[in-house]
Amino acid sequence: MRIGVTYDLRADYLAMGYGEEETAEFDSEETIAALCDALASLGYEPSRIGNVKKLAEKLVAGERWDVVFNFCEGLKGVSREAQAPALLEVYDIPYVFSDPLTLAVALDKGMAKRIVRAAGVPTPDFEVIEDPEDWRRIDLPFPLFLKPVAEGSGKGIHAKSKVNNAAELASVSRDLLEQFRQPVLVETYLPGREYTVGITGTGKDAEALGVMEVIFGEKAEAHGYGYENKEFYETRISYRLVGGEEEKAAADVALGAWRALRCRDGGRLDLRCDADGKPQFVEVNPLAGLNPTRSDLVFIAQFRNMSYRDLIGRIMAAFHRRHPELSMPKA
C-alpha cells in the first residue's frame, strides 16, 4: 500500500530566512526518516510529499496515493493545519489524523474551548482580546494567563504570561497582539500540576495512551510549558507517568475534549489542575509531534514500553478502523 507523507521540514523554512521560534512546530529530517522507516517496517510503501504546496503540485500533476499520513502544519493563516487535508478531500484521498474542520477549530484555542465547555468538559474561564484596548473589558479575577490564540509548540508563552494586575494585562496583551498578529487568549490562571495526555483512536474507540506530568525544574521559565521550556527541556523539564485516580481523572477530561472536538487517530492534549487539584482542559494538539527522541507523545509511549514503530502502528490501526475498505498491510 503506497502511503504519501506530508510534512513541513524545519530546515527548509530556516533556509528561507524564518526564525527558530517561527519554525518551532515544523519537523526535522530525523522525524521524517524515522516515520518513513516505521511505516515501511509496518508493510507500507512510504512516499515523501512535503508541504502543502508540494502536495498541490503533485496532485495537479496526477500523482496519487492509497492513503496519506498527514502531519503538515502549514505556514500562514489560522486555518493553516486544515489546508493539506482539505486538498486531499478534494481529490478523495483518505488520510491519517483529523479533518479540516477539527484542525481549524483546534488551532484556535478560544473556539476549541467554547466547544469543549459546551460539551461539559472542565476548562478555565476565558476571554479573547482582539484589539489593544480590549483588555479593559476583561472581567476575570487575577491572576490571569495570556497566550496567542492560534500558535503551537509553546510560542508566545513565557515568564510574563502570568499577569497579576490590569497594567500587566494591558502590556502583555499588546505585546502579543503586535508580535503574533492574532487574538490573545486570556484564561483564569491554574496554579496546579501540568499534564499532557496521549490519545489514540477515534470517537468511542479512543483511549488514553498515558498521562504524563510535566515537572518544572529550577532552570525552567515559570508558570507555563512554553517555547523555551520545550526547546531546552533537557535542562529545564522532567517527566513522569501518572497513575491511579490522578490518571483516571486526567484521562476522563482529555477523552471528553478529544471526542467533543471529533479528533481522530492520535494526538495529545494539555491539561492543568486548579487549586483543588482537579484537571482542566487547556488545549489539544491533533497533529502531535512525532520526533523519535524529543516529542511528548513519543515520551508517553516510551513510558508505556512502546516502541516508536508500535506507536505509529497504533495510529495506523486507528486509521484503518475508520477505513475498513483499506486492509492494513502485513509487516
For residue 164, give the CATH number of its domain. Answer: 3.30.1490.20
299 and 318 assigned to the same domain: yes
Contacts 24+ apart (CB under 8 A), 294-299: 294/233, 295/31, 296/196, 296/198, 296/212, 296/239, 296/268, 297/198, 297/209, 297/266, 297/267, 297/268, 299/212, 299/239
pLDDT digits (tens, 9 = 90+) for 57-92: 999 999 999 999 999 999 988 899 999 999 999 999
76 and 162 assigned to the same domain: no
- Domains in the chain: how many in total? 3
198 and 142 assigned to the same domain: no
274 and 215 assigned to the same domain: yes
Q: Which domain holds residue 264?
A: 194-322
Is 63 contained in some domain?
A: yes
Is 116 contained in some domain?
A: no
212 and 180 assigned to the same domain: no
Q: Which of 138, 155, 188 is the last residue of a domain?
A: 188
pTM of the model as a whole = 0.94
In the DSSP assignment, the letter for residue 97 is S
pLDDT digits (tens, 9 = 90+) for 12-55: 999 999 988 788 889 999 999 999 999 999 999 999 999 999 99
pLDDT digits (tens, 9 = 90+) for 274-290: 999 999 999 999 999 99
